[in-house]
Amino acid sequence: MMREKEERTLSVSVEISARHVHLCQKDVEILFGVGHRLANKRILSQPGQYAAREAVSLIGSRGRIDGVCVLGPTRAETQVEISMTDGYHLGVDPPVCESGNLRGSSGITLKGSAGTVELTKGVICAERHIHMLPATAEYWGLHDGQYVQLHVGGVRGLIFGQVRIRVSPGSSVKPVLHIDTDEGNAAGIVTGNVGVVVWGD
Amino acid sequence: MMREKEERTLSVSVEISARHVHLCQKDVEILFGVGHRLANKRILSQPGQYAAREAVSLIGSRGRIDGVCVLGPTRAETQVEISMTDGYHLGVDPPVCESGNLRGSSGITLKGSAGTVELTKGVICAERHIHMLPATAEYWGLHDGQYVQLHVGGVRGLIFGQVRIRVSPGSSVKPVLHIDTDEGNAAGIVTGNVGVVVWGD
């Protein structure tokens, strides 16, 4: 019985994602100059991903946020991930959706050291999600795209619903929960804390 | 059976509290002038409480937020309620605690139209809570100070743990959940949405 219980306890490390930008190479060159390549400043938990040295300003109808980190490598489409609190400050109202799904996303202006990009779409609040390897998903009986609940304890303890499982051979070996700063603050947790996946309900 | 189920469904209206300040009369007079009295701009859900016309600036070691609403009436002690996101921007790290419990709370500078107050304590992240009348609490078998869980649905659905029940004869007739902007944004909800109290677990 104890063994069964242990096997049903999937602990996940928490990582809080602050506002950030993914850029296509075309936008990198508009923002930072022709031929510019992103420079790796710090590697992230997901293999191949890094925080770049480059930063941009986000300029909305109501406000502006400077010094927003660009993540690399470049992608096919530029995507801006902000919290709803950021959205209120900037004057944009982005949908909550999975990274890469930019239908219905909001526009914004990006400003870099060499130029400006007017996005008509690409701003989202990222759906909370857990990255894991196919082998991990198989072990736990999970599949890509499904939702689970995740419990975190503490003075602001809560159970996040609608946590998307994202299975990829490119994932970190250790499963990682990605939530934004509003979600981290609402739960009173910081990067490095641990949550537990709850099945059922 | 249906009746029993209905009776165990306590729905609660959600109200999102943006950053705000409660002032003692002494601080009102330092910030806005000798003999100044707060002016009622808009009544709030809890009887006798109102948003005042007066606003202050919060000035921390890292940043500043202008136009922060003062709530009335005055209280015995000045208290500043901010979100953790605000705290990060300002450079203060307030504890999560119940309104009125200022032990261990943070300091900050308040600036009004006539003067400045240097608080050495008084800044908190308010503990999430539900206001209700004694009759309501009795009907539902709840008591002042206890914790319940509260479920909200939707694209960012979650179950808040550690929701404090606050019973007072001065409460609104309709039970009301008070959470801050981080918590509202993390749950994807706005003022006027409804949550359901969950017993047990």
pLDDT confidence of A201, banded at 50, 70, 90?
very low
Secondary-structure breakdown of chain A: helix, strand, coil percentages, each rounded to the nearest 5: 15, 40, 40
Under the phi-then-psi rule, with left for phi > 0, alpha for psi from -120 to 50, and beta for the rest, what region is B93? beta
The answer on B179 and B169 residing in a single domain is yes
**Dihedral in degrees, nearest 10, Cα atoms A30, A31, A35, A39:** -160
Domain-ending residue, one of B101, B126, B151: B126
The answer on B34 and B111 residing in a single domain is yes
In a domain, B112, yes or no: yes
What does the pLDDT read at residue B201?
44
| CA–CA distance, A147 with A145 (Å, rounded to integer) | 7
| CA–CA distance, A80 with A179 (Å, rounded to integer) | 15
In a domain, B39, yes or no: yes
Contact flag B188-A85 (C-beta cutoff 8 Å): no
In a domain, A3, yes or no: no
Under the phi-then-psi rule, with left for phi > 0, alpha for psi from -120 to 50, and beta for the rest, what region is B172? beta
The answer on B49 and B89 residing in a single domain is yes
Contact flag B85-A158 (C-beta cutoff 8 Å): no
| 0.85 surpassed by complex ipTM | yes
Contact flag A156-B128 (C-beta cutoff 8 Å): yes
Q: Is the pLDDT of residue A56 over 60?
A: yes
pLDDT confidence of A3, banded at 50, 70, 90?
very low
Count residue pairs from A and B with Cβ separation < 8 A: 69
DSSP E strands in A4-49: the ranges are: 11-17, 20-22, 40-43
pLDDT confidence of A199, banded at 50, 70, 90?
confident
In a domain, B27, yes or no: yes
Residues spanned by the domain of B135 = 11-15+128-198
The answer on B150 and B115 residing in a single domain is no
| CA–CA distance, B91 with B62 (Å, rounded to integer) | 5
The answer on B161 and B94 residing in a single domain is no
DSSP B108-147: EEEE-SS-EEEEEEEEEEEPPEEEE-HHHHHHHT--TT-E
Q: How many domains does chain B have?
A: 2
The answer on A173 and A115 residing in a single domain is no
The answer on A146 and A120 residing in a single domain is no
Q: Is the pLDDT of residue A8 over 90?
A: no
**Average of per-residue pLDDT across A160-169:** 97
Contact flag B158-A159 (C-beta cutoff 8 Å): yes
In a domain, B5, yes or no: no
The answer on B188 and B93 residing in a single domain is no
In a domain, B148, yes or no: yes
| CA–CA distance, B127 with B179 (Å, rounded to integer) | 8
Q: Strand B11-17 relative to strand B176-180: parallel, antiparallel, unpaired?
A: parallel
Contact (CB, 8 A) for A125 and A94: yes
Alpha-helical runs (H) found in chain A: 2-7, 25-32, 84-90, 134-140, 181-187
Burial letters A117-133, b for 16+ CB under 10 A, else e:
bebebbbbbbbbbbbbb
Angle at A136 between CA A132 and CA A141, to 5 degrees: 110
The answer on A170 and A99 residing in a single domain is no
Render pLDDT for B24-39 as a digit per residue (tens, 0 to 9): 999 999 999 999 999 9
Nearest CA in chain A to B157: A161
Q: Is the pLDDT of residue A130 over 70?
A: yes
A60, A134, A193, B175, B196 from A108: Cα distances, Å: 6, 36, 33, 39, 36
Render pLDDT for B52-69 as a digit per residue (tens, 0 to 9): 999 999 999 999 999 999
**Average of per-residue pLDDT across B84-98:** 97
CATH number at residue A153: 2.40.40.20
The answer on A162 and A136 residing in a single domain is yes
Domain-ending residue, one of A126, A155, A187: A126
Contact flag A162-B157 (C-beta cutoff 8 Å): yes
In a domain, B2, yes or no: no
Q: Which residues of A touch B (CB under 8 A)?
A: 83-85, 88, 96, 127-128, 149, 153, 155-162, 179, 181-183, 185-188
